[in-house]
Amino acid sequence: MTTLNAHADNLIAQATAARRRGDIKTAISAARQATELAPDRLDGWYIWGTTAMMAQVFNEAEQVLAEGARRAPAQTPAQGRFLVQRARALVTLGRGRETCEVVREALNCGLTDGASLNILGTALSQAGRPEDAVPLLEVAVRADPKVADYWYNLGGVQQFLGDIDAAEFGYERAVAAGDHFSAHLALARLKKWNGNTHHIDRLKALKPATVIDAARLNYALFKEHDDLGDHDPAWSYLQTGAQTAQQTYPWDAADEAAIVDAWRTHMPHPPPAAPSGHRPRRIFIVGLPRSGTTLVERILTAHSGVQALGELQTFGLGVKHGSGAPGRNLLDAETIKAAASTDPKIFAQLYDREVAYLHNGAGHTIDKLPHNHDYVGLIRRAFPDALIIHVRRDPMDSLFGAYKLLFAHAHRWSYSFEDLAVHYGHYRTLMDHWQAFGVIDVKLETLIQCPEFEIRRLLKACDLPFEDACLSPHEAQGAVATASSAQVRKPINREGVGAWRRYEEQLSPLRDRLEKSGLI
């Protein structure tokens, strides 16, 4: 037994050293061998699980961390540290229901350190429970007020909940605790700044140490110069930021073209109309990012019979899991082929089970993930009575809206004019194909120009009676965890209509590409 323990000690030391030097594969292999030799050694399970997280092998990480938690003494800090990391893995996998359950288990383990509470609070927010996240994050910043990440995460959740002053305070504390470039960018995007309130001098004094921080800094400088009407320096910063982001988050247009072709090949026709009487009735709002999807969500959320569930990755994850498609890509041509031959009830059951914990009993629920436009055909099969609302906006405004934001890896096509134009062509091709699948179109400019007429039309299309509250979506309650979280707290207005024209000359190459492709 002593020899086995000594061998396990050696393997755990090898795993630790390998991880320290960045050799993730060796670290995982050594830690796995340690658990095989000495299954009761918790450090082996912990190193294996957390290293698998580093490798982004999240399914493996979640299973290993669950086993470590099972073997640890119940309701002790030792078990708690496994549960904290497992919550991270689960929320990354889009398993929000289980995330919330694991967070509760972890809190029963007597954890009081800021690092654990920060992870648990952030996981709750990402799982659609931002109001439950705030108390945990508040304890985290009190436990260690010098950690910038804790303040940044607290500020982000408070912004989602509409407390802009508290969000600003949190971001400022994050900046004060260290050069937190994400906090600098979040502050720049939080509100419109003026000559007396901007942070431009402070931003210019910063020295980013990484490529992604350099991108964040340039996007922040663009936003604040743009607020002040200093369009020439603003554009220069935006181009530098976008070029930097493109290097960090490359995009493959051929992969997306293959996805569009696969949908048209494997789902050429809509399923027969067959209302399922499903309750709650599902509403999916789709479109390009920055097209007005959040505004439409808030209009419907103001209705007494509607609940917004947030921007959920659930349907796409359910398709990947339910179809049994191989590969790490969430969506590709092989996944579409497998999904097209899968019983759609499987997708509906997976979706319903995963989002049930969010439902408050409303007759209609909204899932507002813009790029669910990829899944329109499968949504229609899984939920025959689903309401699919497609929000359209002037392409130049929509594409400029995407170009001027740093989405990180979420929309890799948004960092160059060529990629913007190519992606827009793919999106239009796919949405033209889905028109036969019973899509409700809403044009943002018409909604802004004639709000009551369009809102009444939208409610009628959703089989909802008119309610005056829908005319004041800025007063609707609930979190808004999107880039539009500040804008949609204002009454419906024309601020964003034609916004691209203040950079008309600089954006002319993009417009030329769209015109030559017949897209505008």
CA dihedral 350, 355, 359, 364 (to 10 degrees): -70
Residue 487: the pLDDT is 56
Domain boundaries, the chain: 2-188, 253-516
**DSSP secondary structure string, 272-317?**
PP-----SSEEEEEEESTTSSHHHHHHHHHTSTTEEEEES--HHHH
Residues 6+ apart with CB under 8 A from 25: 55
What is the pLDDT, as a whole number, of residue 272? 83
Q: Kindly report the CATH number that applies to the domain delimited by 2-188.
A: 1.25.40.10
For residue 274, pLDDT over 80 is answered with no
Strand 387-392 to 364-367 pairing: unpaired
What is this structure's pTM?
Answer: 0.92
Residue found by looking up tokens 């409303």 in the block:
362
Stretch 158-169: mean pLDDT, rounded? 95
Angle, in degrees to the nearest 10, between helices 2-20 and 24-37: 160
pLDDT at 474: 83
Instruction: Give the pLDDT of residue 478.
Output: 61
8-state DSSP, 518: T
Q: Domain 253-516 adopts which CATH fold?
A: Rossmann fold (3.40.50)
Question: Would you state the structure tokens that stand for residue 93, as one six-digit string?
Answer: 């996998």
d(CA 401, CA 363): 33
Residues 199, 193: contact at Cβ < 8 Å? yes
Separation of alpha carbons 28 and 61, rounded Å? 10
- 100-150 tens-digit pLDDT: 999 999 999 999 999 999 999 999 999 999 999 999 999 999 999 999 999
Query: What is the rounded distance in angstroms from the CA atom of residue 282 to the CA atom of residue 384?
Result: 10
**CA dist., res. 187 & res. 27, Å (int):** 39
Looking at the predicted structure, is the pLDDT value of residue 484 above 60?
no
Query: Phi and psi (nearest 5°) for 276?
Result: -95, -15
Please give the average per-residue pLDDT across 439-452, as a whole number: 95
In this structure, what are the phi and psi dihedrals at residue 284, rounded to the nearest 5 degrees?
A: -115, 125
- What does the pLDDT read at residue 494? 74
- Which pLDDT belongs to residue 374? 97
pLDDT at 144: 94
Q: How far apart are CA 234 and CA 189, in angstroms?
A: 14
Summarised one tens digit per residue, pLDDT across range 220-251 is 999 999 999 999 999 999 999 999 999 999 99
- Whether residue 170 contacts residue 158, with contact meaning beta carbons closer than 8 Å, is answered with yes
Report pLDDT for 482: 54
Q: How far is CA 327 from CA 57, 123, 127, 320, in A?
A: 12, 26, 25, 9
Question: Is the model more confident about 336 or about 179?
Answer: 336
Is the pLDDT score of 509 beyond 70? yes
Packed helices 114-126 and 96-107: angle between N→C axes, nearest 10 degrees: 150
CA dist 153 and 29 (Å) reads 33
Q: Flag the least confident range among 289-298, 408-417, 446-455, 481-490.
A: 481-490
The mean pLDDT of the chain is: 93
Strands 387-392, 439-443: pairing is parallel
Name the strand (E) or helix (H) holding 398.
Answer: helix 395-403
CA dist 406 and 403 (Å) reads 8
Mind listing the pLDDT tens digit for each residue in 29-53? 999 999 999 999 999 999 999 999 9
Q: Which of 443, 456, 158 is nearest to 303 (CA)?
A: 456
Does 409 score more than 90 pLDDT?
A: no
Least confident residue range of 117-126, 156-165, 409-418, 467-476: 467-476
Q: What single letter denotes the amino acid at residue 338?
A: A
Q: How far apart are CA 315 and CA 96, in angstroms?
A: 12
For every residue of 469-504, which 3-state class applies, written as one string?
A: HHHCHHHCCCCCCCCCCCHHHCCCCCCCCCHHHHHC
Q: What is the pLDDT of residue 118?
A: 98
Per-residue pLDDT tens digits for 364-376: 999 999 999 999 9
Query: Is residue 477's pLDDT more than 80?
Result: no
Question: Which residue matches tokens 């921080």?
Answer: 213
